[in-house]
Structures are given as C-alpha cells and as structure tokens.
Amino acid sequence: MGTIFHLDIVSAEESIYSGAAEFLVAPAQMGEVGIYPQHTPMLTRVKSGMVRIKAPLKDEELVYVSGGLLEVQPDIVTILADTAVRSADLDEAKAIEAKAAAEDAIKNRESEVDYARAQAELIEATAQLSAIRKLKKRGH
C-alpha cells in the first residue's frame, strides 16, 4: 500500500495543483470526504468550499473550489472544478462586492434566468467569504 497518490486540481482556466499528496479533504456534495492513498474508487460532485491538501514534507495547502467533479482512483485523484483559486489568491473585498451585487440582482430581477444566475453568484460569493473567514481563523 502506497503512502502517497498523485493529485490534480484543474479549472477551466488553469491547473491549480499537480503533484504528490498524502491525503486531502474535499467538499463533496453530500459532505466532506477524506481521501488517503488506495482509497476506493469513486466519482462525486464537488460543492463550493476549501480543499485541504497535505503533500509530503510540506505544510497543508488550501485551494478554494466551486462546483465540479472529484474522481478517485487507487493512485490518482482528480478534481475538475468549475472554479479553483489558491487560498492566497482569494480576495475578500471582491467577494463582498460580488455578494452585494448578487443580492441586488435578486431584488431587482427582470426574469427567472436573471434570478437563477444571481442566486448562483450569491452562493459562490457566500462560499468564498466563508472560506476566507476560516482561513483568517487559522492564521493564513
């Protein structure tokens, strides 16, 4: 049984992480999942939140993801995220602004399409703010 697995986290824009990992914790649709080497294969949807990565000989690394898929194979784990941002790149001011804009769009919607888009943007901004606040509590 191996002590590491290969992890790839990619978004539509770029590859955020590619390398060895000892374990990771990800926000799956039905709750957080912990993945260790030789985990049972699975495929699940990812919801907005932080992915915690422990790489060999490194401090824990954090990546914010929103939406996408998590695929686990015995020696490789892949997260195909709609959005993925390194924790150091999260911007609280932008998230607050996006949340306010989404709340305003919900109040002033002109169609159901506008409402659905605004609601998705509100969920995304709220998840980012939650992640930022958790990072601040941890001292990151």
Task: Look up the CATH number of the domain holding residue 133.
Answer: 1.20.5
The answer to whether 22 touches 56, Cβ cutoff 8 Å, is yes
Asked whether the predicted pLDDT for residue 41 surpasses 60, the reply is yes
Of residues 12 and 100, which shows the higher confidence score? 12
Q: 55-64, 81-90, 115-124: which range is least confident on average?
A: 115-124
* pLDDT for the residue 42: 96
If one counts every other C-beta atom within 10 angstroms of the C-beta of residue 106, the result is 15
Of residues 92 and 56, which shows the higher confidence score? 56
Asked whether the predicted pLDDT for residue 123 surpasses 80, the reply is no
* pLDDT for the residue 51: 92
The last residue of one of the domains, among 57, 72, 88, is: 88
Residues 6 or more apart whose Cβ sits within 8 Å of residue 73: 41
69 and 38 inside one domain: yes
- Token pair for residue 10? 């990619």
Of residues 135 and 61, which shows the higher confidence score? 61
The last residue of one of the domains, among 57, 73, 88, is: 88
| Mean pLDDT across 60-72 | 90
pLDDT in tens, 1-24: 578 999 999 998 889 999 999 999
Please give the mean pLDDT across all residues of the chain: 83
* pLDDT for the residue 46: 94
* pLDDT for the residue 108: 73
Domain of residue 100, residue span:
90-138
pTM above 0.85, yes or no: no
* pLDDT for the residue 86: 79
17 and 46 inside one domain: yes
